[in-house]
């Protein structure tokens, strides 16, 4: 936050510096899945470039607004540069009055997000087809659910699919500022999970000897530890780790106190260096206890195993873990840890291959705020600042942080802050869709009232969406602050 003055979106589209890998394939770690790396990179580049094309496009549009045949030329340019047309009402009479670039900007961001979101649910670009295999592996390790709470910071939004290389549909992700997840919400999820095991045998039978595994992911920045770490913990890495661990223990305590008969859960703490995606794994000991100051460093593992034979990656890593730890957790936890670390080795090489070993955008460069409940389609780094909340009042702190970040990125330059308000619902619950839509509108009104100065100056724009997550449907638009008749009725 202290760097607000210098927070401006990089003028260079990310693809510019990422055009080619800087490591040849034979310099990669033997365990790195290079075909997967190139597929993940193609997706990241495609989405990031779509967003970064918006500003240069609007600059060109602004410069040509007084030229003859402006409207037709503008639409032609929008189609070729951005892949969609602009609302005609925003282009008319440009010879009399200046173009409303702020509204055009918000429209372009929302349209780009909608197209990315539709593509995600239609063609599943990040699916790896291994959901069932992963679930079977998880159960073999002694767990039936993997529930991950990263920090809400946009630089951790890719933690499931990229950093840990897990199938995103087989893992629960719910982000909170500072990884300070809601214990009551987690307890409710735990109860629901155990109830389904009893009633439906899903994901496995209730008498199977497996447990619920809760993971918290905190973060730090190795190059600028004092200002680019976690804002919620004053950029203090140890504080971030201690607080996340405390929250994990509270959750375990909550389960143990609320349900008898030996009910408990397993815990895992992960730290992420947002400069290069290297993880720190704080493994529990034989008694399930975690030490927030001792961890396995994936970069050290990368170095130590770089000459290993290509086969048996997870066995090599398990052996490494056993050699490093004095008190080992269960064999299943070691196996799971080996898989997470193995995935992270690919990601370390990914950053080395395509981002010169350290991201250019080590600070905030998100394109929009995502507010509400949902956003499964956002699995990319530094695209979205999340504010998961039921009401603006409850999530006031997260929203304030988000608006502050975007004041530096957008509002100080006169560009509006784009906020996508979203509620996912289950269509098998009667009335759920109407309630989700109602919540979107309530949230929109509360946001405008809390940040009325921004709203009155045209510096806050919203897109309202709902999604039926039980049918794996696409998200639907149910409203927008851009009152342009024809444009939001998709």
Residues 141, 332: contact at Cβ < 8 Å?
yes
Question: CB of residue 33 vs Zn ion: minimum separation in angstroms?
Answer: 28
Per CB under 5 A, the segment of 68-76, 150-158, 275-283, 335-343 that binds Zn ion is: 150-158
Q: Per-residue string for binding with Zn ion, 106-145, x by CB under 5 A?
A: ----------------------------------------
Q: CA-CA distance, 207 to 87, in Å (whole number)?
A: 58
Which of residues 228 and 468 has its CB atom nearest to Zn ion in the complex?
A: 228
Question: CB of residue 178 vs Zn ion: minimum separation in angstroms?
Answer: 5
Total residues at the site for Zn ion (CB under 5 A)? 3
Which of residues 217 and 436 has its CB atom nearest to Zn ion in the complex?
A: 217
Which of residues 105 and 385 has its CB atom nearest to Zn ion in the complex?
A: 385
Per CB under 5 A, the segment of 131-139, 147-155, 266-274, 275-283 that binds Zn ion is: 147-155
Which of residues 230 and 440 has its CB atom nearest to Zn ion in the complex?
A: 230
Question: CB of residue 272 vs Zn ion: minimum separation in angstroms?
Answer: 10
Question: CB of residue 48 vs Zn ion: minimum separation in angstroms?
Answer: 21
CA-to-CA dists, residue 206 to 148, 199, 368, angstroms: 22, 9, 41
Active site residue 349: no
Question: CB of residue 230 vs Zn ion: minimum separation in angstroms?
Answer: 3
Structure tokens at 127: 């699916």
Question: CB of residue 180 vs Zn ion: minimum separation in angstroms?
Answer: 9
User: Taking CB under 5 A as the criterion, which residues in 173-232 touch Zn ion?
Assistant: 230
Per CB under 5 A, the segment of 146-154, 253-261, 411-419, 471-479 that binds Zn ion is: 146-154
Per CB under 5 A, the segment of 18-26, 153-161, 252-260, 355-363 that binds Zn ion is: 153-161
Question: CB of residue 405 vs Zn ion: minimum separation in angstroms?
Answer: 11
Which of residues 237 and 481 has its CB atom nearest to Zn ion in the complex?
A: 237
User: Taking CB under 5 A as the criterion, which residues in 387-426 touch Zn ion?
Assistant: none
Candidates 101, 151, 215, 419; binder of Zn ion (CB under 5 A) is: 151
**Three-state SS sequence of the chain:** CCCHHHCCCCCCCHHHHHCCCCCCHHHCCCCCCHHHHHHHHHHHHHHHHHHHCHHHHHHHHHHCCCCCCHHHHHHHHHHHHHCCCCCHHHCCCCCCCCCCHHHHHHHHHHHHHHHHHHHHHHHCCCCCCCHHHHHHHHHHCCEEEEEEEEECCHHHCCHHHHHCCCCHHHCEECCEHHHCCCHHHHHHHHHHHHHHHHHHCCCCCCCCCCEEEEEEEEEECCCCCCCCCCHHHCCCHHHHHHHHHHHHHHHHHHHHHHCCCCCCCEEEEEEEECCCCCEEEECCCCCCCCCCCCCEEHHHHHHHCCCCCCCCHHHHHHHHHHHHCCCCCCHHHHHHHHHHHHHHHHHHHHHHHHCCCCCCCCCCCCCEEEEEECCCCCCCCCCEEEEECCCCCCCHHHHHHHHHHHHHHCHHHCCCEEEEEEEEECCCCCCHHHHHHHHHHHHHHHHHHHCHHHHHCCCEEEEEEEEEHHHCCCEEEEEECCCCHHHCCC
Q: Catalytic pick from 128, 153, 277, 424?
A: 153
Which of residues 228 and 266 has its CB atom nearest to Zn ion in the complex?
A: 228
- With CA atoms as reference, report the closest residue to 143 among 276, 394, 335: 335
78 part of the interface to Zn ion, by CB under 5 A:
no
153 part of the interface to Zn ion, by CB under 5 A:
yes
Which of residues 276 and 335 has its CB atom nearest to Zn ion in the complex?
A: 276
Question: CB of residue 386 vs Zn ion: minimum separation in angstroms?
Answer: 11
User: Taking CB under 5 A as the criterion, which residues in 230-259 touch Zn ion?
Assistant: 230
Which of residues 151 and 255 has its CB atom nearest to Zn ion in the complex?
A: 151
- Report the interface residues with Zn ion, using CB under 5 A: 151, 153, 230
- Catalytic residue numbers, as ranges: 153
């Amino acid at each position: 936050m202290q760097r607000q003055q210098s927070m401006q979106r990089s003028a260079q589209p990310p693809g510019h510096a990422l055009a080619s890998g800087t490591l040849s394939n034979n310099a990669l770690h033997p365990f790195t899945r290079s075909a997967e790396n190139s597929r993940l990179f193609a997706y990241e580049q495609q989405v990031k470039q779509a967003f970064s094309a918006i500003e240069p496009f609007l600059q060109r549009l602004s410069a040509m607004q007084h030229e003859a045949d402006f409207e037709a030329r503008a639409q032609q340019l929008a189609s070729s540069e951005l892949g969609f047309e602009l609302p005609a009402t925003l282009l008319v009479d440009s010879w009399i009055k200046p173009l409303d670039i702020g509204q055009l900007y918000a429209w372009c961001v929302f349209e780009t997000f909608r197209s990315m979101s539709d593509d995600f649910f239609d063609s599943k670009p990040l699916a790896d087809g291994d959901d069932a295999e992963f679930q079977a592996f998880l159960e073999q390790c002694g767990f039936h659910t993997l529930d991950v709470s990263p920090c809400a910071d946009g630089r951790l939004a890719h933690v499931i699919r990229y950093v840990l290389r897990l199938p995103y549909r087989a893992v629960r992700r719910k982000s909170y500022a500072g990884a300070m997840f809601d214990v009551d919400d987690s307890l409710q999820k735990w109860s629901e999970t155990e109830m389904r095991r009893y009633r439906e045998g899903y994901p496995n039978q209730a008498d199977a000897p497996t447990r619920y595994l809760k993971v918290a992911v905190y973060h730090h920045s190795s190059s600028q530890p004092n200002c680019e770490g976690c804002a919620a913990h004053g950029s203090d890495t140890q504080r971030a780790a201690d607080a996340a661990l405390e929250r994990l223990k509270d959750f375990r305590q909550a389960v143990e106190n609320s349900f008898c008969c030996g009910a408990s859960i397993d815990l895992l703490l992960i730290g992420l260096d947002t400069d290069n995606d290297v993880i720190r794994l704080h493994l529990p000991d034989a008694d399930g206890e975690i030490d927030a100051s001792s961890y396995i460093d994936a970069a050290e593992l990368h170095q130590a195993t770089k000459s290993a034979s290509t086969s048996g990656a997870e066995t090599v890593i398990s052996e490494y873990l056993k050699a490093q730890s004095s008190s080992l957790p269960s064999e299943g936890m070691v196996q799971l840890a080996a898989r997470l670390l193995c995935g992270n080795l690919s990601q370390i090489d990914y950053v080395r291959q395509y981002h010169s070993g350290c991201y250019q955008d080590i600070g905030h460069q998100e394109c929009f705020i995502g507010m509400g409940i949902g956003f499964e389609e956002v699995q990319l780094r530094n695209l979205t600042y999340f504010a998961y909340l039921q009401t603006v009042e409850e999530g006031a702190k997260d929203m304030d942080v988000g608006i502050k970040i975007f004041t530096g990125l957008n509002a100080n330059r006169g560009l509006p802050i784009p906020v996508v308000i979203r509620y996912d619902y289950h269509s098998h619950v009667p009335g759920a869709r109407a309630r989700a839509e109602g919540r979107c509108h309530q949230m929109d009104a509360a946001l405008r009232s809390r940040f009325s100065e921004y709203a009155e100056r045209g510096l806050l724009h919203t897109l309202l969406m709902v999604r039926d997550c039980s049918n794996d449907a696409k998200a639907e638009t149910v409203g927008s602050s851009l009152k342009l008749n024809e444009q939001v009725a998709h």
